[in-house]
Amino acid sequence: MITNTRGPKMFMQLRKTDDKSVLEKALSHFDGFHVGASLLSSLGVFVQDVGKPFFIDPMTYRFILPPEHIIDREKGTVPRWMRYLAKTYSPILEHSLGKKTLTANDLNATRGGIQELTCNTLEYERTRFDTSEPALINKYFDKYDAFEEIGDSIAHNIQGTRPSFVIPPFFLVEEVGDPWYRLNLICSRIAAEQKKPEELLYGVLFLRKEILLNSECVDIVRDYADRRLAGIALWVNGLSEESANTEILSNLIRLIDGFRSIGKVVLKLNGSYLSILMNHNGLSGFSCSLSYRSDRDVNVSKWIIPGPPKAKFYIPGLHQAYSLDETEHVLRMFPFLKCSCRVCRDSYGNDLDIFQLEMKKVGYCQNHFLNARKAELDGFAQRGISGAIEDINEVLYCLKKKNAKGARHLTKWLNLMKAVQSVGTGIELPAKVNELESASIRHG
Ligand SMILES: [Zn+2]
């Protein structure tokens, strides 16, 4: 279970096979895995062998995309993992896969259909890594301290077979109260009925970011107040924590705080440094990938992005990643932003002439990022929000001394944290918390 005592927990997403070689050297730098149902089986074996906590994203939202977003443009076929999952989850998904865009009505046509989808999804998550052969020897056990160790890491178990919590099937919500919103609530209610006594169940909110421009946070919190939900997994589609406007981010914080006020653990899917700061407002944890980005968008398919991703360097003082060109330029202008983690020390050191050459090497930027992120997490755990604000103020002061513009995201975060600290979030909930049954009645 995620606790809130030492700063937020960070769950790493595995996207490609290269991620394994980076993460296996930094096992003490993160708390667990966010496993997408599309994960390659070789990476699944890695997650299982490592034995850290994990949860499974069933990726049901992918099945309601238009066929042109589902069919691989190069191969002209539906990816094998989707065919397998459709067969596992529901005949409704299987019959429409790659042929038509599913509506909420299609899924909700019969109570039996949505019940079957929910039960099969939970069972898939429970058994994804379940094995009859217990791993008595954990080959990663002695690797936990091999990287640059700073502070403690979460205890790992020797048999990483069961998820820390299960989540119901979920779909992208366009508006609060829309058919997908209601369907997500129905899936949550069915999952709560099907939950095993020893199991933790999280509800999922997968929201279009514009929803956060409206003041409907209280309604959402009430709808997901069911006591059988131990927590909430929150994903705001395409939301960049760096570039989103202040109103959206303020309402995101209100939403998180609202859930905290009724005792729910909140985990944000796809977070960046702001997610660490939001631990102050009740965010218990977040997941992120080695792309360092928080703006994952379900409507952007991987084959639409042209060319291989270019190496990016996460500048710790700015809490954001930049291209190697930009980074070199910034570090030459502002030497106080140089990183002194082990990867940086042992590669380019103080010689910026070889910075790009060194950091282009496979895994270097990512290993540096994990060191920088661990320092951010430990710093927050030790000094809290006031320490983080102090550090951002210091960076902004040093930038200002040189009349430098930019780093607007830092100013925004700073103002956001100060505003939220002084005003409070203003969410008031009735003393008696409604269960999902009453919420679904209200929404018809
Ligand atoms: Zn570094």
pLDDT of residue 214: 75
Strands 32-36 and 265-268, by their bridges, are: unpaired
The pTM for the full model equals: 0.89
List of the chain residues with pLDDT < 50: 1-4, 134-136, 141-159, 303, 430-444
What are the boundaries of each domain within the chain?
Answer: 9-304, 312-423
Ligand 1 center to 370 CA (angstroms): 9
Ligand 1 center to 249 CA (angstroms): 29
Around ion ligand 1, residues with a beta carbon closer than 5 Å are 339, 341, 344, 368
Ligand 1 center to 23 CA (angstroms): 15
CA angle, 75 then 288 then 31, to 5°: 125
pLDDT of residue 163: 94
CA angle, 358 then 363 then 368, to 5°: 75
Ligand 1 center to 28 CA (angstroms): 16
Ligand 1 center to 359 CA (angstroms): 10
Residue 56, classed as helix, strand or coil, is strand
Ligand 1 center to 284 CA (angstroms): 26
Ligand 1 center to 294 CA (angstroms): 20
Maximum Cα–Cα distance for the chain, whole Å? 66
Candidates 166, 193, 215, 211; CA nearest to 35 is: 166
pLDDT of residue 127: 92
Ligand 1 center to 24 CA (angstroms): 18
Ligand 1 center to 368 CA (angstroms): 4
Strands 231-237 and 283-288, by their bridges, are: unpaired
Candidates 193, 264, 180; CA nearest to 222 is: 264
Ligand 1 center to 371 CA (angstroms): 7
Ligand 1 center to 344 CA (angstroms): 4
Strands 9-13 and 32-36, by their bridges, are: parallel
pLDDT of residue 239: 96
pLDDT of residue 308: 66
Ligand 1 center to 6 CA (angstroms): 23
Ligand 1 center to 403 CA (angstroms): 26
Ligand 1 center to 335 CA (angstroms): 13
Ligand 1 center to 33 CA (angstroms): 23
CATH number of the 9-304 domain: 3.20.20
pLDDT of residue 64: 95
List the structure tokens of 62. 């992918």
Where would I find the H helices in 144-268? Answer: 179-194, 217-223, 246-261
Question: Which residues, at least 6 apart from 51, have a Cβ–Cβ distance to it below 8 Å?
Answer: 135, 138, 140, 156, 157, 158, 159, 160
Ligand 1 center to 349 CA (angstroms): 9
pLDDT of residue 143: 45
Q: What is the DSSP string of 357-403?
A: HHHTSTTHHHHHHHHHHHHHHHHHHHHHHHHHHHHHHHHHHHHHHTT
Ligand 1 center to 274 CA (angstroms): 20
Ligand 1 center to 362 CA (angstroms): 15
Ligand 1 center to 377 CA (angstroms): 15
Using an 8 Å Cβ cutoff, are 266 and 217 in contact? no
Ligand 1 center to 266 CA (angstroms): 30
Ligand 1 center to 328 CA (angstroms): 13
Ligand 1 center to 275 CA (angstroms): 21
Quote the CA–CA distance of 265 and 261 in Å, as a whole number.
10
pLDDT of residue 140: 58
